[in-house]
Amino acid sequence: MDQHEPALQVGAQLEALITTMAHGGEGIARVAGQVLFVQGGFPGDKVLVRVDQVKKRFARGQAVEILEASPSRSEQRCQAAAQGGGCCDFGALNPASELELKTQVLREQLQKVGRFAELPKISQAAFGEPTAWRTRVRLGVDSSGVAGVRKLHSREVLAGVPCAQMPQELADAIFAQRFTPGSEVVGVLDALGQVHIVEVTAPARGKRAERTERVVLGSGIVTEQVGDVRFELPATAFWQAHKGAAQLYADVIFQWVRKWIGATAGLELQQEQAARLVGWDLYGGAGAFVAALGHGLASVRPVASTAAPSVLVESVELAPQAAAAGKQAYAQVDGFEVRFHSEKVERSFKSLRAPHAVVLDPPRVGAGAEVIAQIAAAKPNIVVHIGCDPATFARDALAWREAGYELEEVQVVNAFPGTHHFETLGRLRPARSSHE
């Protein structure tokens, strides 16, 4: 064989031992000296792989048969995934193994992408429910008007087959309906246990806006709650996917802001700082984390003062509907002031007061170095960064370090059980060399 020829050939079937997990949910094997990414393989599996793609430095394939199962493998718990659905790619992984596997993926991304020579403290959080955890689903509709998840790497709809992520009452309500062929359906089981189903027109490529064509069931206005704050928002508006996620993140934010307060108890705030503490809630949606941030700051007691300062939370969210829902939710909340800004985060900084604490929950692409540099220039005392993709979280962590902030603590949250996805919460503070 010519030395420039790839060792693996498209269409070939071969045996491989999966040794570790890659970001994106593929197993990793080494065959003929090349890295082979295997869809459907878990560490410890010996699999028969069909090679689908060969590049100069790696190849990709699909596990077509499990020859020897990993100890971490279990029975597939998702009917849709068992029939080729692109929903639960970790549905055949033992739930007890899932969080540690995801934590390993984060460690690798922090080292490779974030260039961390020494990792911060990493803790883990799980909800204990591997199925029926979703608050909302988005499904396709086939030519006969039946909804379902789409097949892996396909637009084909697996009509009428339930996904393990869906609560039974939500699945039953959706599959009892018939929809416009080719449309998309959003179904929500809200905090009150009410089911809402709306038919939507998917946004054009490159666009975020979609249009609700028909409310099929319920009012289309869902109720969600975090702590004592209740939100009323459209079924299509963003909310955390896992029913326990918003409350867990809010609790962590409150604890970490309080932790900063405890660590700086002897800090003499300037007179103007002591009079008013400011928090930024960026990419804030309807403001699910505003209360945690506001109450955390409100517990500050500056040196030489027994009175708590007034607190202002500036919440920035591009979607007008979400910002409007936040304004309504916080109209009757006491203890701090909230201002909502409906604009892009990167355009909002000039209109915001300098912050002491910042919470940001950017989309999957991350915040990016430009936004992070602008936040760092405002010199917050503490930052809580939430990321739903380990690679972009690691890239953003590198941008924070380059901007003069250090990642002190990380929590991996298994907010998407049965899938390779997870959330990462990071606590950052100004690097010691920048303020000593």
| Active site annotation includes 87 | no
244-261 mean pLDDT: 93
Residue 286 in this model has a pLDDT that exceeds 70:
yes
Q: Is residue 259's pLDDT more than 90?
A: no
Q: Which string of DSSP letters, residue by residue, matches 294-360? A: HHHHHT---TT--SPPEEEEEEE-S-HHHHHHHHHHTTT--SSEEEEE-S-GGGTGGGSPPPSEEEE
Query: Once rounded to an integer, what is the mean pLDDT over residues 187-203?
Result: 92
Rounded average pLDDT over 333-345: 94
Q: Catalytic residue among 78, 87, 88, 388, which?
A: 388
Tokens in use for 106?
């984060």
Q: β-pairing, 357-360 with 382-387?
A: parallel
Q: Per this entry, what is the length of the chain?
A: 436
Q: Report the alpha-carbon distance of residue 133 to residue 413 in Å, rounded.
A: 14
CB 97 within 8 A of CB 72: yes
Q: CA–CA separation, 418 vs 20, rounded Å? A: 18
Per-residue pLDDT tens over the stretch 217-248: 999 999 999 999 999 999 999 999 999 999 99
Contact status, residue 381 vs residue 357, Cβ threshold 8 Å: yes
Helix axes 290-298, 245-263, angle to 10 degrees: 20
- One DSSP character per residue, 6-61 reads -SS-TT-EEEEE--EE-TTSEEEEEETTEEEEEET--TT-EEEEEEEEE-SSEEEE
What's the whole-model pTM score? 0.92
Residue 32 — pLDDT band, cuts 50, 70, 90? confident
What's the half-sphere exposure (Cβ side, CA atoms, 13 Å) at 314? 19
pLDDT at 258: 87
Q: Which domains does the chain have, with CATH numbers?
A: 13-73 (2.40.50.140), 136-234 (no CATH), 245-435 (3.40.50.150)
What dihedral angle (degrees, nearest 10) is formed by the CA atoms of 225, 334, 272, 261?
Answer: -50
Looking at the chain, the whole-number percentage of residues with pLDDT higher than 90 is 84
Residues 348-382 have pLDDT tens digits of: 999 999 999 999 999 999 999 999 999 999 999 99
Helix/strand/coil for 182: coil
**In the prediction, which pLDDT does 332 show?**
85
Query: Would you say residue 406 has pLDDT above 50?
Result: yes
Position 112 pLDDT exceeds 50: yes
Quote the CA–CA distance of 235 and 214 in Å, as a whole number: 12
